[in-house]
Every structure is written in C-alpha cells, then in structure tokens.
C-alpha cells in the first residue's frame, strides 16, 4: 500500500480549511496545511469580522442622534478613524493567533507558504514535495473588478480595511452585499457616499419586496445612482473623477469596486490533475465536495456555492467527517440564514416570494412595515419590515425576511424554528415578547392585501 506524508493536506487556512484540519486531526488523521497570506482567511482579515467592527462604529452616529430624544445632550462628539483602525487591527491579529493556535493545538503541520498541486497526491510547498492521501482546496476567493478605463484606480474592500485616512467622499460601485454594507458604513462615519448600481434596485437575489424596501432605506444617507454604470475613472490631485454612463461626473476621494469575488484557482497547479472548473472559474465538486480528481476535494468560496463563512465551516467539517469518520453527514443547503449589515440590517432565511412561486408552491404572504417603539421619541422616520412566506398546503413557514436593527440576531433563532418545520400556526400560538420588534413575527394575522407580483 502506498505510504503518504499526510492523510490530508489542506491548501488555505481560512474558515473552511481550518475547520477541516481541526476535525480531521481530531478524528486521528495526520494533517498538514499551507497558508500563504493570513490565518483565518477573508472572514477574519478582510471580511466579516473587521466589517462588523466598522459597522458597530457606524451605528454610533445614529445612536448619538437618537439619544437626544431621550434627554441626552452632548457637545464635542468626534470620530477618529485611526483609533478604529488601530483597534480593529489589534483584534484581527488576536484572531489570527487564535486560528494558528487551533492548528498547533491539533498537531497540524503548518506551512506558512504558498503550496501548489503537483499531482493527485503531491503538493509542492517551501520547495519540498509532500504527499497526501487526500488534498483539500480551500483557498477562497478574491475581489474582482470589471475592466474599463481607470478601473485599476478603484480599490477593493481589501484595501478599504487598510486606509490610513477616512476619505471625505467615496463612490461605491456595485449593488451586492459588500456595496450596500460599505456604503452604509462609510456614510455613517461621515464620508459623503454615492452608490452606483447597474440594476434598478439593490441586492439581486433577495426577496423583491425586501429589495424595494432596502433600496429606499439606503437612500437616507447615501446618494443612490440606480441603472447607472461607471465608464471611466480619472485620477485628479488627491482624488478621482468618476464618469458615469449617463454623462455626469462625480468628484471623490476614492472609488470602491464591490462587483463580486472570484475563486482563486489560478496558478494552483490544477492543470496537472483532473480537477474541473465551472464556467465561473469555481471548482466543480460532487455532493461530497470531491472534484473530478478522486483524491482532491474543495470547499468554501473556491467552489462558489454559497460564499458565506458558516457555509465554508460546515463544508470543511463535512469533508473531514466524510473522509475520516464512520458517521459521515451530508450538508443541507436549505434554510441557510444570512444577514446584510447595511443600515438598517437585513436578515433572511428560506425562500423569497419569487423563489417560492418559481417552485410552483401555493403560498400565503404576510408582510408589514412597522416603526420601532424607540423611534416614537427619536423622531427618526425609520421603518422596519417583516415578511413571512407560508406554504398553503403544509402551513409551513418557508421564507422569513426582515429589515431592521439586529436583523441577523433575530433571524438566526427563526432559522432553527424553520429547520424544525415550524408552521404559521406554531408562530401564531407563540407568545410574543412585548414590546419588541421580534414579537411582530408571532402576531402577523392579516395576509398581505395586494400581491406584489
Ligand atoms: P455580490 O455578488 O453580492 O454583488 C456584486 C454586485 O456587483 C452586484 O450588484 C452586481 O450586479 C455588481 N456587478 C457585477 N459585475 C458588474 C459590472 N461589470 N459592472 C457593474 N456592476 C457589476 O458580490 P460582493 O462583492 O458584494 O460580495 C461577494 C460575496 O461575499 C457575496 O455574494 C456574499 O456571498 C459574500 N459576503 C457576505 C457578507 C455577509 O454575509 N454579510 C458580506 C459581504 C460579502 P448584478 O446584481 O446586476 O449582477
């Protein structure tokens, strides 16, 4: 029988890779991992974690303003970008160490270097050829920007985390997660922000009614240019001139391109093995995350199924159990909750109204816009929205959507209920917690009067 240096060798120590290493090692496998950049991957270093810290910072602006209606008064409130950045950097490097510690504590051999695939069981790392029974590709994705004159002047979210100075003005290109989150954050931090989106509303793929609501809500604080594209960026003095397809020009300090991310499959040595790519450049895998090369697996953003940290974690864990445990589990992709940390937050789980209809399901829709009690004293004209999609035949809640403060915190719990098969009657017989926004979910009695579609 062929002997290998490792049972599993993982390329990439991000969310999916580290989870796979830890679980495989705990199941007795000899594991190696190569990481060329930073431990913890996108999420910890240039994604979820630092973004959420920035989002907290941004929320204080509204909180300070809202506090006046409750009797607070203050003078001399200022915001210091360098304090936020320094503290963010400290937290990120603390988390880097924790990720490294997880690997060390599990006796995983860590190579702080780029690794490439040389064959179905061979990896080159630090000039050495190592062998592994199984290889897991968990190298993630990288921001992608379309090409147009001056597009190289635009920065990606990666660079935004490293800015030495808060820009006075920012143009954001895109209408997805990163665009709406960063437009919300930077506008609240005091940066004049314009969001340029090629579509007629933000967040394609989400429930249409929720998209309408968010598109209207983002406009409070952000200049929104819908059905618009950037055709050229020209550097000027310390900033940029941004030319739009409708002929107008914006002068700004900086342009953020948030036009999607691409799997990092180039120069990995994939041509030396049978691994196949999808049209998008992501790695093709089967239900066990196995590529067309039987000894090579792939998880996370590089397979481009659902590019979310908790999904990559679950996939990494599933692969490790599949390979090294007697009780492998399949991973389900239903009811994966997600939140967009724009202002206000958006949380969602299950099907959108359109997806449910497309699946041919008979549905009932409950939706309402409500004002938080808090705003009766703040004077802020901010509404929240909640929406339930119920399958008529089973009474099951198959879609739950919310726009409002801490939407992610609320939706997580409802995702559990939905995974347990909660019905609308279960919601109805649940006692609310008063006065909260969450209680609205258990007190929705009237069907939406007018269908949106
Ligand atoms: P998204 O895919 O979410 O959005 C990309 C946006 O860019 C879309 O609005 C798209 O428009 C637009 N776009 C694409 N190509 C062009 C172009 N050539 N010109 C103009 N606009 C263009 O990508 P993001 O970069 O925002 O985020 C990447 C992924 O990271 C997300 O999908 C998500 O999975 C993950 N993420 C998750 C977060 C969270 O959980 N809170 C936060 C941030 C990221 P159109 O819709 O018309 O195609």
CATH number at residue 280: 3.50.50.60
Output the average pLDDT for the chain.
96
**Rounded Cα–Cα distance for residues 21 and 320 (Å):** 8
Task: Tell me: do 170 and 201 sit in the same domain.
Answer: yes
pLDDT score at 384: 97
pLDDT score at 163: 97
**Rounded Cα–Cα distance for residues 215 and 200 (Å):** 9
pLDDT score at 450: 52
Nearest residue CA, atom 47 of ligand 1?
199
Nearest-atom number in ligand 1 for the CA of 258 is 25
Nearest-atom number in ligand 1 for the CA of 202 is 9
pLDDT score at 76: 87
pLDDT band with cut points at 50, 70 and 90 for residue 449: low
The structure tokens listed for 174 are: 């895109």
451 domain-assigned: no
333 domain-assigned: no
450 domain-assigned: no
Residue where a domain stops, chosen among 291, 324, 357? 324
Q: Would you give the end-to-end CA distance of the chain in angstroms?
A: 62
Report how far ligand 1's centroid is from the alpha carbon of 143 (Å): 9
- 6 Cβ inside 6 Å of ligand 1: no
Nearest-atom number in ligand 1 for the CA of 408 is 41
| b/e per residue 154-191 (b: at least 16 CB within 10 A) | bbbbeebbebeebbebbbbbbbbbbbbbbbbbbbbbeb
Nearest residue CA, atom 21 of ligand 1?
174
* Three-state DSSP string of the chain: CCCCCEEEEEECCCHHHHHHHHHHHHCCCCEEEECCCCCCHHHHHHCHHHHHHHHHHHHHHHHHHHHHHHCCCCCCCCCCHHHHHHHHHHHHHHHHHHHHHHHHHCCCEEECCCEEEEECCEEEECCEEEEEEEEEECCCEEECCCCCCCHHHCECHHHHCCCCCCCCEEEEECCCHHHHHHHHHHHHCCCEEEEECCCCCCCCCCCHHHHHHHHHHHCCCCEEECCCCEEEEEEECCEEEEEECCCCEEEECEEEECCCEEECCCCCCHHHCCCCECCCCCECCCCCCECCCCCEEECHHHCCCCCCHHHHHHHHHHHHHHHHCCCCCCCCCCCCCEEECCCCCEEEEECCHHHHHHCCCCEEEEEEEEECCCHHHHCCCCEEEEEEEEECCCCEEEEEEEECCCHHHHHHHHHHHHHCCCEHHHHHCCCCCCCCCHHHHHCCCCCCCCCCC
> Domain of 414: which CATH number?
3.30.390.30
- 179 Cβ inside 6 Å of ligand 1: yes
pLDDT band with cut points at 50, 70 and 90 for residue 423: very high
Task: Tell me: do 113 and 254 sit in the same domain.
Answer: no
Residue where a domain stops, chosen among 275, 293, 324? 324
- 146 Cβ inside 6 Å of ligand 1: yes
Task: Tell me: do 166 and 107 sit in the same domain.
Answer: no
- 408 Cβ inside 6 Å of ligand 1: no
Task: Tell me: do 163 and 254 sit in the same domain.
Answer: yes
427 domain-assigned: yes
CA angle at residue 78 from 74 to 79, to 5 degrees? 140
Report how far ligand 1's centroid is from the alpha carbon of 200 (Å): 15
Which among 220, 288, 322, 434 is annotated as catalytic?
A: 434
CB 384 within 8 A of CB 344: yes
Task: Tell me: do 13 and 127 sit in the same domain.
Answer: yes
- 308 Cβ inside 6 Å of ligand 1: yes
**Rounded Cα–Cα distance for residues 238 and 249 (Å):** 16
pLDDT digits (tens, 9 = 90+) for 228-270: 999 999 999 889 999 999 999 999 999 999 999 999 999 999 9
Report how far ligand 1's centroid is from the alpha carbon of 254 (Å): 19
**Rounded Cα–Cα distance for residues 389 and 385 (Å):** 13
- 176 Cβ inside 6 Å of ligand 1: yes
To test the ligand 1 pocket, which listed residue (176, 179, 215) has its Cβ within 8 A of the most ligand atoms?
Answer: 176
Task: Tell me: do 268 and 308 sit in the same domain.
Answer: yes
pLDDT digits (tens, 9 = 90+) for 32-43: 999 999 999 999
104 domain-assigned: yes
Report how far ligand 1's centroid is from the alpha carbon of 144 (Å): 10
Q: What is the value of pTM for the model shown?
A: 0.96
If one counts the domains in the chain, the total is 3
Res. 353: pLDDT tops 90:
yes
- 190 Cβ inside 6 Å of ligand 1: no
pLDDT score at 298: 98
* Domain span holding position 84: 6-143+262-324
- 259 Cβ inside 6 Å of ligand 1: yes
Summarize the confidence of residues 395-405 as an average pLDDT.
98
448 domain-assigned: no
**Rounded Cα–Cα distance for residues 50 and 161 (Å):** 7
Specify whether 434 is catalytic.
yes
Report how far ligand 1's centroid is from the alpha carbon of 261 (Å): 7
Residue where a domain stops, chosen among 259, 274, 298? 259
Summarize the confidence of residues 375-384 as an average pLDDT.
95
Res. 140: pLDDT tops 90:
yes
**Rounded Cα–Cα distance for residues 243 and 103 (Å):** 48
Task: Tell me: do 295 and 266 sit in the same domain.
Answer: yes
Residue 392 CB partners (closer than 8 Å, separation 6+): 361, 362, 363, 364
pLDDT score at 451: 53
Report how far ligand 1's centroid is from the alpha carbon of 195 (Å): 13
- 142 Cβ inside 6 Å of ligand 1: no
Nearest residue CA, atom 48 of ligand 1?
204
Report how far ligand 1's centroid is from the alpha carbon of 451 (Å): 28
Task: Tell me: do 78 and 93 sit in the same domain.
Answer: yes
Res. 453: pLDDT tops 60:
no
For 444, phi then psi, to 5°, come to -85, 110
179 domain-assigned: yes
- 175 Cβ inside 6 Å of ligand 1: yes
């Amino acid at each position: 029988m062929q002997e290998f240096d490792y049972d599993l060798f993982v390329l990439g120590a991000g969310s999916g890779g580290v989870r796979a290493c830890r679980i495989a090692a705990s199941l007795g496998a000899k594991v190696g991992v190569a990481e060329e950049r930073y431990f913890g991957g996108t999420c910890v270093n240039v994604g979820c974690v630092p973004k959420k810290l920035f989002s907290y910072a941004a929320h204080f602006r509204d909180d300070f303003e809202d506090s006046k209606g409750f009797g607070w008064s203050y003078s001399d409130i200022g915001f210091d970008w360098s304090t936020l950045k320094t503290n963010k950097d400290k937290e990120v490097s603390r988390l880097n160490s924790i990720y490294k510690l997880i690997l060390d504590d599990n006796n995983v051999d860590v190579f702080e270097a780029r690794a490439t695939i040389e064959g179905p069981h061979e990896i080159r790392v630090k000039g050495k050829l190592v062998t592994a029974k199984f290889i897991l590709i968990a190298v993630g994705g990288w921001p992608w920007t379309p090409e147009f004159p001056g597009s190289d002047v635009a920065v990606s979210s990666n660079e935004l985390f490293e800015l030495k100075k808060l820009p006075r003005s920012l143009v954001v290109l895109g209408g997805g997660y990163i665009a709406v989150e960063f437009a919300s954050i930077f506008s609240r931090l005091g940066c004049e922000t314009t969001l340029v989106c090629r579509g007629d509303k933000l967040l394609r793929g989400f429930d249409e009614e929720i998209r309408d609501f968010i598109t209207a809500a983002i406009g409070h604080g952000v200049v929104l240019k819908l059905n618009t594209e950037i055709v050229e960026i020209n550097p000027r003095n310390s900033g940029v001139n941004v030319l739009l397809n409708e002929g107008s020009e914006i002068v700004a300090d900086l342009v953020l391109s948030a036009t999607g991310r691409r799997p990092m499959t180039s120069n990995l040595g994939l041509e030396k093995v049978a691994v196949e790519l999808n049209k998008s450049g992501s790695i093709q895998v089967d239900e066990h995350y196995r590529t067309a090369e039987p000894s090579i697996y792939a998880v996370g953003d590089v397979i481009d199924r659902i590019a979310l940290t908790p999904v990559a974690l679950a996939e990494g864990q599933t692969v490790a159990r599949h390979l090294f445990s007697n009780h492998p589990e399949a991973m389900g992709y239903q009811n994966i909750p997600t939140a967009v940390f724009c202002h206000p937050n958006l949380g969602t789980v299950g099907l959108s109204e359109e997806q449910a209809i497309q699946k041919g399901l008979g549905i009932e829709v409950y939706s309402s816009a409500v004002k938080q009690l808090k705003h009766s004293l703040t004077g802020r004209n901010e509404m929240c929205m909640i929406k339930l999609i119920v399958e008529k035949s089973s009474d099951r809640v198959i879609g739950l959507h919310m726009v409002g403060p801490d939407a992610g915190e609320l939706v997580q719990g409802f995702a559990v209920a939905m995974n347990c098969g909660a019905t609308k009657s279960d919601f109805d017989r649940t006692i609310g917690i008063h006065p909260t926004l969450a209680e609205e979910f258990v007190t929705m009695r009237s069907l939406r009067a007018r269908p949106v579609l």
